[in-house]
Amino acid sequence: MSRPNPRQTKQTPALSGAVDLSTLKPRTDPAVQRDDPAAPPASQGGTWVLDVTEHSFQTDVVDRSMQVPVVVDLWATWCGPCKQLSPVLERLAEEAGGVWVLAKIDVDANPRIAELFGVQSIPTVIAVAGGQPVDAFAGVQPEPQLRQWIASLLDALRDQLPGIRAAERAADRATMGTAAGQPEAEPEDPRFTAAEAALTAGDYPAAEAAYQQILDTEPANVQARAALIQVRFLARAQSVDPSAVARADAAPDDVDAQIAAADAQVAAGAPEPAFERLVGTVRRLTGDDCERARAHLVELFELFAPDDPRVTAARRALARALF
């Protein structure tokens, strides 16, 4: 017997502003897995398709999204359209080879996740990157439109999540063969290969050490420097203190507190207040503290595209604060 589906409408979840996904703490016992013959086929255990519960949400969605986008598929056993959409998303995720990951979540078994996202209809699909929802749609979409949506996400996030490039290169190496009669492709730089493998695995210390080793011998290597800055930020973002902003607001002349708060704001998807915070710190402080705030702000700029209007505006504000 099918269950009523009042949520099956064409509304999308409200994604305005930052959503603190870390507020979803796992229950003491994992969600019970149900055996319902009416359910969509369970994921077949593929590497890039995960069955996620409230218990595993932090690791499988929030933490993993610091490296590559996680596409969250919110479904239910009684939802007919879900049975059309989920298999297509699973196939596309496996085809991508780790460039993005699909997280399948049964909203009936995991209601707190649906509440956290403000879901009003299913199927709903939400893209999470850097620990924040960045885009979403509701209802079944044709495969060409799904491919276009995913490609747009990757294009927008490629410079912010270095794991995307690393996974793309790994996927290319796994599928690429040398065609007969054609010249063999130029081999990958093994130093970058090792660093990217560590990054894809989430081993930030090893990735940082590998990129730093490249810079030790090639100080002008722009690619290694950009990757090193990204890796360092991802490592810091994993241990962001939720109270960092409040502590910094209470101690405006504490440069360490201001730097930690700026990191927390960027990790929460709010770079503009982070930039404003450090510009204000540069304006207030002098000497080494001023220089530390300035250097950290410039490093945060490098997490974004050079022509990002938020970076451009902050660079102008920094120049005014210094001169």
Q: Residue 43 maps to which CATH number? A: 3.40.30.10
Average model confidence (pLDDT) across the chain = 81
Token pair of 164, please? 């995307």
pLDDT in tens, 29-69: 433 343 443 333 344 345 789 999 999 999 889 888 888 99
pLDDT of residue 225: 87
Whether the Cβ atoms of residue 251 and residue 263 lie closer than 8 Å to each other? no
Instruction: With both helix axes pointing from N to C terminus, report the angle between 222-238 and 204-217 in degrees, rounded to the nearest 10.
Output: 150
pLDDT of residue 23: 57
**Helix axes 80-96 and 143-157, enclosed angle (nearest 10):** 50
Phi and psi at residue 307, to the nearest 5°: -95, 10
Q: Give the pLDDT confidence score for residue 174 in this predicted structure.
A: 61
> How many other C-beta atoms can be found within 10 angstroms of the C-beta atom of residue 226?
15
Last residue of a domain, one of 117, 138, 164: 164
- Do 117 and 248 lie in one domain? The reply is no
Q: Which residues of the chain have pLDDT under 70?
A: 1-46, 171-187
Confidence at residue 294, expressed as pLDDT on a 0 to 100 scale: 94
Task: Catalogue the active-site residues.
Answer: 79, 82
pLDDT at 113 (0 to 100):
92
pTM exceeds 0.75, yes or no: no
Residue 114 lies in a domain: yes
In terms of domains, do 25 and 143 share one? yes
- Give the pLDDT confidence score for residue 145 in this predicted structure: 86
Tell me, what CATH number does 259's domain have?
Answer: 1.25.40
Cα 200 to Cα 191: distance, rounded to the nearest angstrom: 14
Q: Domain range holding 250?
A: 244-322
Q: Specify the pLDDT at position 296.
A: 93
What would the two tokens of residue 262 be? Answer: 């700026």
Beta-strand (E) ranges in the chain? 49-51, 70-75, 101-106, 124-129, 132-138
Interior angle at CA 162, CA 132 and CA 295, nearest 5: 85
